[in-house]
Structure 1
Amino acid sequence: MAKVTTGSGDTGYTGLLGSQRVPKYDPRPDTFGTVDEATSALGLARAVAQDQTVKDILFRVQQELYVLMGELATPPEHYETLGLRMTKEHVAQLEQIEEELKSKVEIPNKFIIPGDTVDGAALDLARTIIRRAERMAVKLLHDGVIQNGEVVRYLNRLSDLIFILARYIEVTSSLAQRPER
């Protein structure tokens, strides 16, 4: 059985991949912790979603975010031994899904007030957390803490995808709820 409580964080430090320990408020754990928060918000959206395609997209994204968190938790001296990292292909796959969804739903050219549907609102909440993670990752990139710009590009495209997915859900939900005439 997995050991949940290690006690090693009781002094306010956490481990990166490898032996390095940093304060829990260090920008790296702060950023991958925010990505973890986004992953949980996406899990909530997946749990309440009715559309299987949406559920499948969200599950795949959640898996990819674990790769991204692993990359953020890897100190520079271990980066070359990291087997997985965010790539241009990850970003291209998000862009492809975006285009497929945009062909099925019109994206309004106005600000959206979240809350038309529970699953759409859950996605909008996840999107805002992803945007915060993106801002934090940009700081890591600009400060030279991380070198892979695909991390930032992935988070940027992901927030766009989640916005589109929320609109898709709201449109398909409203169509499903219309009475037949």
Structure 2
Amino acid sequence: MAKVTTGTGDTGYTGLLGAQRVPKYDPRPDTFGTVDEATSALGLARAVARDQKVKDIIYRVQQELYLLMGELATPPEQYEQMGLRMTAEHVHHLEQVEAELQSAVEIPNKFIIPGDTLDGAALDMARAIIRRAERMAVKLLHDGVIQNTEVVRYLNRLSDLIFILARYVEVTSSLANLPE
């Protein structure tokens, strides 16, 4: 069984992939911790979603976010050894799913107030957290802490996809509740 409590963080430091330790408030763990929040919020959305297609989309994104967190936790000296990283193909897949969903739902030209459905509201919460993670990743990129621009592109496209997915579940939920 995995050991949950190690005590190694009791002094306020956490490990990156490799031997390097940094303060828990360092921009890297702050950013991948925010991505972890987004992954958990997506887990809530997946748990309450009724549509298997939606559940599958969310699950794949959650898996990809673990890859992204691993990349953010990798210091420059370990980066080439890591091998796995966010790529243009990851971004392209998000764009494909987004286009497919957009063909099934009309996106209104107005501000959306979250809360029409539980699954839509959970997705909107996840989207807001993803946007925060994106802003943090942009800072890492602009400060030269990370070099892979696909990390930022992925988070940017992901927030768009999750916005559209929330509208999709709201529309499909309302269609399912129409009287026969």
TM-score surpassing 0.5?
Answer: yes
Give the aligned partner of residue 93 of structure 1: 93
Give 1:99-118 correspondences, 5 Å limit.
99-118=99-118
- Tell me by how many angstroms 1:112 deviates: 0.1
Q: For residues 32-71 of structure 1, give each alpha carbon's deviation from its aligned partner in whole angstroms, at most 9, with x where no partner exists.
A: 0000000000000000000000000000000000000000
- Tell me by how many angstroms 1:83 deviates: 2.0
Give the aligned partner of residue 63 of structure 1: 63
Give 1:162-173 correspondences, 5 Å limit.
162-173=162-173
Which consecutive residues of structure 1, in runs of 5 or more, have no partner in the other structure?
none
Matched, 1:146 2:146: yes
Q: For residues 102-154 of structure 1, give each alpha carbon's deviation from its aligned partner in whole angstroms, at most 9, with x where no partner exists.
A: 00000011000000000000000000000000000000000000000000000
- Tell me by how many angstroms 1:27 deviates: 0.1
Tell me the C-alpha RMSD between the 2 structures: 0.3
Distance in 2 (CA, whole Å) between partners of 1:133 and 1:105 is 27
Distance in 2 (CA, whole Å) between partners of 1:82 and 1:131 is 26
SS in 1 for 2:140: helix
SS in 2 for 1:85: coil
Give the aligned partner of residue 161 of structure 2: 161
Equivalent position amino acid for 2:149 in 1 = G
Equivalent position amino acid for 2:159 in 1 = S
Q: Percent identity?
A: 87
SS in 2 for 1:84: coil
Which consecutive residues of structure 2, in runs of 5 or more, have no partner in the other structure?
none
Equivalent position amino acid for 1:131 in 2 = R
Paired positions, count: 180
